[in-house]
A and B are shown apart, each in its own frame.
Chain A
């Protein structure tokens, strides 16, 4: 299971098994979406599979997650998603009204994101060989001229911005999956980020890198960027926005919100001279209203992410290994 957790084990699986077997220069970039040139057009192309349990959770379901996950992977390349494919794998016995609700949510999410579901596929597996419904989506979109979002463009001095509260989706899922209640209703932040990215690019196409911190959370995204860019990253721990309910739940379970999944947030590395304008543009957008500067890229400790604690100490923020495990007491 750890190989699917979005941490070090996932990265090893891709780097040591998949990438060498598949070959190809585009795949070697290992971005959330591949940037390809076809007929003179620069396209972003991405795929993602969704195996969330339970299928319905506060603030969304596997249907809108399957749209927003792929749309957001494309958005992190600067592309607005244009077309999606959608593959359903249904477990024998899943009730048709459940499938209908998920399909409706998927369609609604696609319309809200301004993307068309252009092709699809359905397979059914025997009872006991699935978790009700699995969905794969792939998407394609155009990358605007002048936009080149890659971790390799990050340089010391870049400002690190997050678009809002972190850890919300992961805690929302845990609250229903494990039957835990944390005193506050926590809804998933699942949302399409294309519009927010458009607003940021309208200020300057010269953003260096964007990531949506899904599995592995903010810590995994920052580590991936630090490793790929060869710069260090320093985060001011007190600046990282964590809502009370998420902090509360994480404190109870012994989890670190920095490692908890998000589905409607992005982290941006922005040249310092553009940071104020980009931040203002983000705050003017509903999905970036709580955007904040949380740190910067630095020349020290290349490839590592370090947090300055509220008390003035320092700690390394490592790549998570596999799944986070709630601790005993």
Chain B
């Protein structure tokens, strides 16, 4: 088996057993990136030289028998995480030459555990998008193809570069961030596993903010176990993030393969929404059967405020983004376009620096926070958000985990939907409610649809109970036996 096809778990034991070196493992990935990235555009910045140096050090550590959980494992880092000395762009022109002199907590944790970063993955600009088509560095191509159709598909977004890189073998795993579905939806579109932890589980320090009350970092990998291994490293309290929660990080890998006997799985009626494709409906039904067969009790539940989720999200997230992105003013870092007056400089800088989708959300956010509209929009959205959260809390009194589709359709082609923002926003309809409630959620690939594209199912858990997600996810994974690989991938490139 090619080194780019291995799981993180297998690669880690292979490295320890000296079956191959970290340099070999990393080189296999940097070579794959060199070969495929020009087409997929999954990476904005590649760091082959640094990665190979890090791999050499990893080999020394391995030789001493001091390996940590991720020693020598090549990972892609979403270009929203600030990385010390490595350009961090948020896929925006305004930061196209920004090199932070600091490291985000999540990436620092991964480095502490020995991970090797092979590059910064592409994303929707400032994580605003569901198809990775708003990046100032161009769209990412999904490595999957429809049966008998060569149209370039979107990888989902905003963590589209991470998802594509992991699916195509350009990284063994990657970090993502999820604000309204930005880990789960691209994971579903690219046939990989993506986990959005509970809000507060991973530090937001050093991660470029989109919507602070929703943003959460999480792992994306080719197996549930790999996500567990990565999350183990990424999670934990950080005093530099006031919303980080100080509670123990359990042994996530121990949850893999745990018996599901007696586990109550809720099926929320409201997720049978309009626009849900028949094949996803079928996959969902299949998932229910698999879990029933694994000993779960299936319970119908109701999350009555689900229908307001998306509308509420598109008030809260733009409101926060309009404020969070105010710091990109051309004064202290990033790009500056000169102007006659201070206001003219701001306007020119921000017009040149931000793409249309970012500008749209800043405008929406500015509008909903304006004095005359605050009560009607922002305040009301916050109230609805409370009701959405209450729905989940009540559901979790009856069940242990919820099973839903991740996205209403499989990946679509570049150019489809892109002229209608509202249509585009609907891709996040199933992922947004859990984000609004701060609940942990995961997408697991469970099969291929009629056109040969991967389909994902979403598990939503209680706050800080990522273990149940991992246990249930691994059961789905095992039942599905998802071993399909995309058309464009490192192995196939040779």
Question: A and B bound?
Answer: no
